[in-house]
Amino acid sequence: MKPQLTQEQKLTWKMTQQLSQAIEILQYNGMELQEFIQQQMQDNPLIDWKRGELPMSGEAFPASGVRQTEQSLREYMYDQMMDIPIEARVRRALEYGVDSLDDNGYLDCDVKEWKDVLQEEEWVVESALSILQTLEPAGVGARDLQECITLQLLRKQENEQIIHLVQHHLDWVAEQQLPSMMECYGWNEEEVHKAVEVIQACHPRPGLQIAPVQKDYIIPDARVVQREGVWRVELSPLNQPVIQVDQTYAELVTDDEEARMYVQEKYKHAEWLQMAIRQRKEHFHAIVREIIDKQKPFLHNGAVHVQALRMREIATKVDIHVSTVSRAIRNKYVQTPHGIYPLKFFFQQGIKMNNGQETSAHSIKHLLKETIELENVHKPLSDQKIVEKLKSEFGIAISRRTVAKYREELFIPSSSKRKRQGGTAS
């Protein structure tokens, strides 16, 4: 067969500079948006900006215990990614994974959600996860405590028995069940103490090793208020800046072709910036409004009543892509009658109850904690007993493994340890 030239027509999608900037603008919180506009003004003399005041009452609001470490940790991770030679699809997935890390360095989404949001093949997400878990600090990108410690032990090239202990019997370490470990792994007393020391040397919250607390205050990007019995969303003035085009330059008449082309280019850029900021405001307001509409039980009764919610639900309501929702809520906070919350908080994993309705993981954790606080301190409830109690009293069916996971996340020891301590840990 002779080689031949053929013409083929293809539809391709290219990330233009303006589209890339529009996506970036969507991710900015109010303060970041102000800084971005200031930079644009330095490059474009046609941009006239009416600055917004500080939000709502004109003051920043105390952080109420929320640690401002996310941005710093994110920057640290992105710095490491710069020199990694990976294809564009995997890099995009990796960036989403980094953006989904919580302050402790744990991955705040599962692989299925990750894949669905990006509409990617599983191998792409799995590749991104593998790369993420090789970055510093060791243990970052884990989905639970066992995986976090396992990643650190693998990095140190510890022996397989210690890794097996972490993956299958981490409760023995927490409860200092040395005889069980010695019998299971054939260790002598010195070896078992050494194994426990190695495990305890691992950091349970690797993200906190990197990210210092940077801010004492959070400026919310929106607030929710009740007016005449209706919950309304009000955006911070920082999130709705007014951009105008300085007509002094725009109407400049000159015979200099280069100067005329320059003014035209800057005029188009200023118009684009107006459009991008207007679109950002519309999308952000619509997203927060839909979140609040779904979370009315939270507004009336507090955090224990937060509802199960997925980004796809909000994306369908607002008629935008799921990734747009993900970008729009990143690093943004809302002031509610119950305090300031990250918008990410309102997206909770749902668990079906016996009546067919869903309840959020946050609500289940609250009920679990309350159930343990009310137990007989001399006869603490085992994880299996808690499973049965949640099912019989609240109609919530979850596994013993899930109870153990939530208990560890709440830093509540096992029943045997609670019995020795005479109650739950404070």
For the question of whether the overall pTM of this predicted structure is more than 0.85, the answer is: no
User: What are the chain's domains?
Assistant: 17-66+215-348 (no CATH), 69-213 (no CATH), 350-421 (1.10.10.60)
Mean pLDDT of the 188-192 span: 91
Nearest to 199 by CA among 146, 136, 142, 133: 146
Q: Long-range contacts for 280-284 (Cβ within 8 Å, ≥24 apart)?
A: 280/22, 280/25, 280/26, 280/28, 280/33, 280/328, 281/235, 281/239, 281/240, 283/26, 283/318, 283/320, 283/324, 283/328, 284/26, 284/221, 284/222, 284/235, 284/239, 284/328, 284/332
Tell me the average pLDDT of the chain: 80
pLDDT beyond 80 at 151: yes
Token pair 């930079």 in the structure block, residue: 39
Compute and round to an integer the Cα radius of gyration of the chain.
26
Lowest mean pLDDT among 59-63, 118-122, 155-159, 166-170: 59-63
> Does 403 have pLDDT greater than 90?
no
Q: Tens digit of pLDDT for each residue in 268-307?
A: 888 888 888 888 899 999 999 999 999 998 888 877 778 8
389: which 2 tokens? 């109690």
CA 42 to chain centre: 33
Beta bridge partners of 335: 223, 340
Q: CB under 8 Å to 391, separation ≥6 — which residues?
A: 354, 397
Residue 34: Cβ-neighbour burial (10 angstroms; 0-12, 13-18, 19+): middle
pLDDT digits (tens, 9 = 90+) for 4-14: 554 544 443 34
Tell me what pLDDT residue 131 has.
92
Place of tokens 């006239």: 48
